[in-house]
Chains A and B, each alone.
Chain A
Amino acid sequence: MRKISSGAILFAAFGALAHAQTQQELLRDGNSGSTDNVLTYGMGYHQQRYSPLRQINKSTVKRLVPVWSASLANEFGEQGQPLVYNGVLYAANVKRVVAIDVATGRQLWMTALEWDPAVARVVCCGLSNRGVALYNGKLFVGSVDAHLRALDANTGKEVWKVKIAEWKEGYSITSAPTVANGVLMTGMTGGEYGVRGFVDGYDPDTGKHLWRRHTTAGPGEKGNETWPAGDAYLRGGGSTWITGSYDPELDLTYWGTSNGGPWTAAARPGDNLWISSVIAFKPKTGELVWHYQWTPAETYDFDGNNENVLADIMVDGVKRKVLMHADRNGFLYTLDRTNGKLIAANPYVKVNWAERIDLTTARPVETDVAKRLRAGEKVEVKPRWTGGKNWMPMAFNPDTGRLYLAMLEETSVYQLNKELPVYKAGERYMGVENTTAPRTPGEPWGYFGALDPLTARPKWKLPLMDLPSWSGMLATAGGLVFSGRSTGEFLAIDEDTGSIVWQFKTGSGINAQPITYTHKGRQYVSVLSGLGGGTSAKRETEGKVLPGGSVWTFALMPD
């Protein structure tokens, strides 16, 4: 009896060891670490979404075939990026987390994320979950009812669960958590409901709350002077619904912040730091080190949340530590990530609310369109509130020095309401009327493109004529870029020319984030299929695509 128990304990210990993925492995993910694993949101703390793998390349891609598909039984949409560790793929959506054996596609465990259906009232733009984090044998996942859970990565059993905020006050989680310097961090969403944005730090072992980094400056904080007197900062928005990147050498984590609350800036005169910004802070303490505001006095619903990609690139003959960001406001920015100083900012889609970003003041020079909008006129704004690019992440190939992204070209008809909105907890807090301007026939919905980060000049642009794309990108050393279409085609694109060299039609629309990795020496590519998670793709594909989530995994057919 005794013998059996100790054997069982030994086995359990080994099992835990096999999954005891460490901070060291996190540091090396996407950075000379084993290509068998994908351990971080963005395929590396830098979020470059680049893999050195080249087994699947321009010559061999014609032999790329699906090797398995697994249902996720979810009609709300798949935006997630799976993680892979020791031959197990972990995928999440708003309803569940699933562990799948990479070799066979069979499910190892499934854990449901239960929430009150009324929660959907406070998730503005689609019920979503963009992924999980892995650390030291645990898997971490947020849920739309604003809870953060730790699961045993071997079994899916809950280890701890904490409520980060009250969903009835408009707070929820749609983003993947992340672990940096031993601290588990999560963002939140709710910028349409008068929330006060924050990033929270937790002890990954116990779920103990360590700190809260608010994204609107309160009394006594530098930046509070950019808010009107009173308590507008308490409802000022600045939610944090995309996972931050991290530079381990500088020990800084970079998080984008959302639109202001309410949408109409007439309710909150001032620049409103730190909404529509990137903030750089210490993961151990949440201490703010620098900020850069993409859209001061934001009133367009130009969230500044999407990915901040880190790389070391040549700028005027000098290697600089930079942060690259294609904002919803239509400008592609390169900042010095050591101090937040602006290096370059150029429009990458049609922009009419600002002429340019002044490199001396580092601020946008607003046009007459912006002035008339702020004065209460109904105006056409480019880009539409959904942005020149939305949350779907771009990829950066350090060899070509180019960014690969899906761009959106739409125009809104936008007006600030005469009456300021009245705040009621957990209800819409906007004060704007926004519709979409009719499309010009023959104009593309958007593009896939390869851009220079410093000039936004394209190496190539592939017009998207039938529908825009809401899919993330993956670049590889095989000379390929992977992405997808709302109609479900998973694509391999030649990174040099922008030609689509391979495609496969999955079961529903693709608006997710492909990954690549190896298992027993074979390169795999996985992506989630399932229209939704955002509202615009549903509008655009009305009557053309049905939802329904699944994981698809591809590899080369043997000769």
Chain B
Amino acid sequence: MNRAKIILTASLLAFAQPASAQDAFKPEQVKSGSETYARHCAPCHGPRMADPEGAPDLRKFPRDQRERFLTSVSKGKNSMPPWGDLLKADEIEALWAYVATGGRN
């Protein structure tokens, strides 16, 4: 019981990454995210997240809402299609690393 509780708490903590956790992203993950971004996301969200073409400005995406980001990308939201069947989970995580760090890492 106790053990289960500890695991649950640990996984909840892992889930709720604080904003400062962006420092923890690995540079290669951010780089991989930037490549996926340039190919699939830049046409609507703008090259390097600047000058979005009709899609939300990702520079303003709340850094404490990783889960919402991952869900929106994989399942789609409003005009954005779902990407979950095209991009692998680690590719979407890398996208988050890129967005959460503002591409700087």
Contact = CB atoms under 8 A, between A and B. Distances in A.
B62 interface: no
B81 A435 contact: no
B47 A433 contact: yes
Interface string B38-63: 01101110110011111100000000
B18 interface: no
B53 A120 contact: no
A347 B47 CA distance: 30
Contacts of B54: 126, 534-539
A171 B85 CA distance: 18
A464 interface: no
B86 A435 contact: no
B44 A427 contact: no
Interface string A231-268: 00000000000000000000000000000000000000
B11 to A, nearest CB: 30
A120 B80 contact: yes
B52 to A, nearest CB: 7
Contact of A117 (B55, B82, B86): B82
A535 B47 contact: no
Interface residues of A, number: 25
A118 B43 contact: no
A120 B81 contact: yes
Nearest to A119: B81
Judged by DSSP, the binding face of B is: loop
A118 B40 CA distance: 13
Contacts of A427: 39-40, 86
Interface in A426-460: 427-428, 430, 433-436
Which of B39, B40, B76 has the largest number of chain A CB atoms within 10 A?
A: B39
Interface in A527-541: 532, 534-539
Contacts of A428: 39-40, 43
Given A126-B54, A427-B39, A536-B54, A120 B47 contact: no
B47 A118 contact: no
A118 B51 contact: no
Contacts of A127: 79
A430 B43 contact: yes
Contacts of A430: 43
A333 interface: no
B81 A539 contact: no
Contacts of B46: 435
A255 B99 CA distance: 41
A552 interface: no
A101 to B, nearest CB: 31
A120 B79 contact: yes
A76 interface: yes
Given A76-B79, A192-B43, A535-B44, A118 B85 contact: yes
A124 interface: yes
Interface in B66-104: 76, 78-83, 85-86
A127 B43 CA distance: 15
Contact of B76 (A120, A433, A534, A536): A120
Nearest to A127: B79
Contacts of A536: 53-54
Contacts of A225: none
Given A120-B76, A127-B79, A435-B46, A539 B52 contact: yes
Interface of A: 75-76, 117-121, 124, 126-127, 192, 427-428, 430, 433-436, 532, 534-539
10 interchain residue pairs of minimum CB distance: A535-B54, A120-B81, A538-B54, A435-B51, A121-B81, A539-B54, A535-B53, A433-B47, A118-B81, A117-B76
Interface of B: 39-40, 42-44, 46-47, 50-55, 76, 78-83, 85-86
Given A428-B39, A435-B51, A539-B54, 8 more contacts: A120-B79, A126-B79, A427-B39, A428-B43, A434-B47, A535-B53, A536-B53, A539-B53
